[in-house]
Each structure stands twice: as structure tokens, then as C-alpha cells.
Amino acid sequence: MSEYDPKIRFRGAAHLALASETVASFTALPPSDGKRPELSATAREVASHFSDRPISGSLLAGLVRLTDIFAITGIGLAMHTSMVADATVLDVWTLFGTGLGGLLLALFIQAFDGYHIPVFRQYAAQIGRVMAGWTMVFVVIGVVAVLIDAGAWDGRAWLAGWYLGGLLYLVLSRPVLTRLVRRWTADGRLERRAVVVGGGAAAESLITQLESQPDNDIRICGIFDDRSDDRSPPLVRGYPKLGTIPELIEFGRICSFDMLIVTLPLTAESRVLQMLKQLWVLPVDIRLSAHTNKLKFRQRSYSYVGSVPFLDIFDKPLADWDAVSKRIFDLVIGTIALVILSPLMLATALAIKLDSRGPVFFRQKRHGFNNEIIDVWKFRSMYTDKTDAEVRKAVTKGDPRVTRVGRFIRKTSIDELPQLFNVLKGELSLVGPRPHAVNAQTENRAWGEVVDGYYARHKVKPGVTGWAQINGWRGEVDTPEKIRRRVEHDLYYIENWSLLLDLKILILTPISLFNTENAY
């Protein structure tokens, strides 16, 4: 297995002077005294205002593409059924041809830049592109017909009907799309929400340039800076300074924003690194503003908002379609698993009831995505009067608190099966870093204090099983080394996620359960 390399992994690291610096230790959050920083009233008000989930522009564009493909395919099939003689049964070539027509439409509209959010906002800008794209599809069909000498073919009336039907769909659907996009834009749900790190003149220059861009889709939520007001003003172009960097982490638990923009210059290398040590635990894109940097790199080294350049430092894991595909995977496989395992779960519930008095299920507070606290379901494995919901004391070998049935279901991890309900609810994923108890400790030290950067494992949803578990890191955590190794494996999983990796972990999980060395 490849080891997780505990360094900041910069995108485009070859052109960054920062890339040569090893981040020896990441700042663990919350602070070592266990207290979460208090947000100001203004920061809480702003965070609450942006607490709803924004709509991803790339997801919306993708959904419009899929809708176009399926609608055009469906119209073609309907026209064929109603207009072609003896078309009661659709043949393979008709299905293939109509499906290809839908795909070609999406490709041509894409080539004409018709799937961009600024274009969606303007009906006139859309209609010419989609009509041209649909016409080009039939130009291709006409060329193919000539090449294969289809002059005697009797399906020309169907093609004419398909063209007119498709044209009618495109002309009528685009005003609806325009209206929806304008409403979502006005509500602030179709913009990328950003927080600026570092105030003063650099932040003012950045905001001025962003607001001057005609296609700017970034909405600034506020500014965070550790410097005092005499060096970093409390208000920059109407945007308030909401707090310090530690407070930004707490702000990120309430506010749904997409991007952090660091306005510090590359020459302030040590300060940039110090900030990144703290900020990398947030599940957001992190960009370094490059509009004032004197160091100039090749154009493709930057990402742009209009003409404003940024250096990409971190990307949010599992964003957009990755998140959608993982959620679909969880729902489909999770539902199948629940149906298949339901007899085992019913038998376990009956055994618990017969073995000791008390409820069948047990709920425990654990860390979820972005450090949110969630209730995780388990089968009860301890005597009711000895349960430890706060996990003040870890279960050890021969622990008298554990029932007879409890020992078996803990060794085999059957006690974890009710977490499938957490998966269907969306609080957990089937595969991911295991959700640790809020007060989990080793040698009287919270795990966030034992492992620097511990909270970075919460940048994705926790899972019922994970990469660490199939590699032997499950069960009792009685030494700092064990939790460090778990976190290393969790971070490796986040860096290398794919659906195939999830499938591999699920397949190997039953095999890994035979290793019960640390499972009590």
C-alpha cells in the first residue's frame, strides 16, 4: 500500500516556491484546551445567512445536458412510433440513432458555449446556440444519408417531425431555464461563495477587480485576518472583517461556502504556510490570489475568474459529480445491503433482547462531515446501566461492561450494521473515514491533540467501513501510534478516492473481519 505523504500537496507544485517546504505538522482543531472559538454576532449572522447549500454551476450545466439528451431521444422515439409504418416494435438502429442524435445535440451546444451559466441567464443568448446545434445534428444526418444512398428510405417524414418536435422543445424549455437561473442568481444560490483570508489593500484590490468582471460568479461572504484593525481595517469595500483564522474554522461549520481566497503575496511564504496549516482541514477549494504577484508563471498555471488569476492550492474532495456518484452508490448499494442483511439484523435484535434487559439500539455522538456532530446508530453491546455514550473509557479485552452477545457482535462488527440507516439518511457514507466518538481519547489525550491535522479526515463524510479498517486498523486504540496510522490511512483514502476504490474496500471488508486481534 502507498503511504500517505504528510506534506501539503499543491496543485501545480512545480511552479510554486512553497512546494519545497514540508509541512511538518498541521494545526489541530479545535484548540488544545478543547474550547471552540466564539464567533462575533456579525459573523454568526453572516454564516446563518449563507447556511443553505448553494447550487453548483457545473452540476446544473450537467443536468441540463442530460435533460436535453433524454428529451431529444424521447421525442425522436415518440415521432418514430407515431409516424413510421409498422413501428410497433422499436428496432436497435432506431434506438441507437435517436440516442446518437441527443448526444450530438449536447456536443454541438457545448461547442457553441451554450452550457454556461451566464448564457443560461439570457434567453436570446441561448436560443441561437441551441437552434444552431439542433440544425447541425440534421446536417450530419443529411450527410450520412447521402453517403449511404438512402434516397428510397421512407423515414423522411419522421425526421422532419423529429426536427420540428425537438425545435419546439428547445424553444419552450429555455425560457423556463432562464427564469430559474435568474431567480437562483438573485437569491445568491447560483454563485460560488468565497471567504477572503487577509485584509487591507490586497483584499481591496482583489475585490475591486472581481466586481469589475462581467461574468464574475463569486460572492464574497466576508474577510478573516489575524491582524489588528490598525493593520487590517474592519471594513473593506463594504465587506466586514468577521474574525481571526481560528474563528474562520468555526465559521465554516455554519456557513456553506465554496472557496477560500488567500490574498497574501508569495513573498510572505512563512505566513502563507502558517495559514495553510490551519485552513487545509476545511472541505473547500483554497486559492491564492495572484493578481498582485510580481512572479509571473505560464498562463495555464492559473485558474481565472474573468481576467483575475488565481493559483490553485487545494481542491475540495468529492465535489460536484463525484459527490453525486458517491451518493447514488451509497443509496443503491446501501439499500441492497439492508435488504440482504435484514434477517441477520432481526436475529441480532432478538439475541440482544434475550441476553439482557434494555433497548436493542444504542446511539452515540460522533464527528461527521466538517466536524458536525451526528447520532450514529449501533446495536447495543453493553449492559444498559453500563453504557458509555460519552466514550470516556474505551472498551478493553474482557471488559465486564460488554454482554455475551455484545462480545460476538463487536468482534464481527455486526454491531455496526444499523449504521446503514445513517447511510440512507445521508449522515454517513458506506465507505470513508470511520466516525470517531466526540470524546475519544488515548492516554487521556483527545485524538485531535494526539495527531496534528486530525480534523482533516472530516473533509468527507465518514463511512461504515474504510481504508484503515481493511488494512488492519480497527478495534481498540490504546496507543498514539494506532490513531496516527488510522489517520494516515484516512487521508490516503481522501486523496485517492474513486468509486472503484470504494468497491474494493466493500469487497475486502468481510475478509478483514477475520482479523479480530484488536476488536473487543
Grid cell 487590517 is found at: 232
281, 365: one domain: no
Tell me what pLDDT residue 447 has.
80
pLDDT score of 22: 30
Mean pLDDT of 253-273: 79
Domain boundary among 314, 343, 361: 314
Q: What is the mean pLDDT of residues 200-225?
A: 85
- Asked whether residue 180 falls in the same domain as residue 202, the answer is no
Highest average pLDDT, of 2-11, 34-43, 241-250, 324-333, comes from: 324-333
For 379-421, the pLDDT digits (tens) are 998 888 777 666 666 676 777 888 899 889 888 889 899 999 9
Looking at residue 293, what is its pLDDT? 57
End-to-end Cα spacing for the chain:
26
Quick one: 400 and 331 in the same domain?
A: yes
Residue 494 belongs to a domain: yes
Residues 18 and 92 in one domain: no
Q: Looking at the domain assignment, is residue 385 inside a domain?
A: yes
Domain-ending residue, one of 273, 298, 314: 314
Last residue of a domain, one of 127, 155, 186: 186
Does 54 score more than 70 pLDDT? yes
Q: What is the C-alpha to C-alpha distance for residues 5 and 453, in angstroms, rounded to an integer?
A: 13
Number of Cβ atoms within 10 Å of the Cβ of 42:
14
CA gap 397, 409 in Å, rounded:
14
How much is the average pLDDT of 132-139? Answer: 93
User: What pLDDT does 155 receive?
Assistant: 67
Same structural domain, 68 and 96: yes
Residue 32, pLDDT above cutoff 60: no
Residues 178, 201: one domain? no
Q: What is the pLDDT averaged over residues 188-213? A: 86
DSSP letter for 378, please. E
Question: Looking at the structure, do residues 344 and 447 belong to the same domain, yes or no?
Answer: yes
210 domain-assigned = yes
Provide the number of structural domains found in the chain: 3
What is the rounded average pLDDT for all residues in the chain? 81
Q: In this predicted model, what pLDDT tens digit does every residue of 60-119 receive, in sequence order?
A: 999 999 999 999 999 999 888 887 666 555 577 788 889 999 999 999 999 999 998 889
Judgement on whether residues 370 and 487 belong to the same structural domain of the protein: yes
DSSP SS3 for 220: strand
- pLDDT score recorded for residue 17: 38
Please check whether residues 263 and 411 belong to one and the same domain: no
Residue 341 buriedness (CB in 10 A; 0-12 / 13-18 / 19+) = middle
pLDDT at 460 over 80: yes
pTM of the shown model: 0.78
What is the enclosing helix (H) or strand (E) of 312? strand 308-314
Cβ neighbours of residue 108 closer than 8 Å, sequence gap 6 or more:
132, 133, 134, 136, 137
Residue 143 in domain:
yes
**Is residue 517 in a domain?**
no
Query: Is 138 found in the same domain as 90?
Result: yes
User: Would residue 481 count as lying in a domain?
Assistant: yes
Q: Smallest Cα–Cα separation from 218: which of 262, 188, 184, 179? A: 188
Higher-pLDDT residue of 214 and 499 is: 499
Which pLDDT belongs to residue 372? 85
What's the rounded Cα separation, in Å, for the pair 455 and 237?
Answer: 33
Task: Please say if the pLDDT value at position 443 is more than 90.
Answer: no
Residues 351, 491, single domain; the answer is yes
Of the two residues 481 and 176, the one the predictor is more confident about is: 176
Residue 367 above 60 pLDDT?
Answer: yes
Residue 23's pLDDT is what? 33
Number of neighbouring beta carbons within 10 Å of residue 206: 24
Do 447 and 454 form a contact (C-beta atoms < 8 A)? yes
Q: What average pLDDT does range 478-498 have in this prediction? A: 88
Indicate the length of the chain as a whole number: 520
What gap in Å lies between CA 410 and CA 10, rounded to an integer?
40
Placement of cell 489593500 in the chain = 201
- Report the share of the chain in percent with pLDDT over 70: 83
Instruction: Tell me: do 252 and 339 sit in the same domain.
Output: no
> Residue 298 sits in a domain of what CATH number?
3.40.50.20
Taking CA atoms, 405 is separated from 147, 352, 353, 402, 411, in Å, by 74, 6, 10, 8, 10
Residue 75 lies in domain: 57-186
59 vs 440 pLDDT, higher one: 59
CB neighbours (10 Å) of residue 350?
Answer: 12
| CA 245 to chain CA centroid, nearest Å | 23
Cell of 261: 481566497
Query: What pLDDT score was predicted for residue 379?
Result: 92
Give which of 123, 120, 130 is closest to 60, Cα–Cα.
120
User: Over 60: is that where the pLDDT of 458 sits?
Assistant: yes
pLDDT in the model for residue 62 = 93
Q: Read off the pLDDT of residues 294-348 as tens digits, 9 standing for 90 and up.
A: 555 555 556 777 677 888 888 888 888 899 999 999 999 999 999 999 999 999 9
pLDDT attached to residue 38: 81
> Which cell numbers hold the place of 84?
413510421
6 within a domain of the structure (yes/no): no
Residue 28 has pLDDT above 70, yes or no: no
Among 90-94, 423-427, 444-448, the range of highest mean pLDDT: 423-427
Flag whether 5 is in a domain.
no
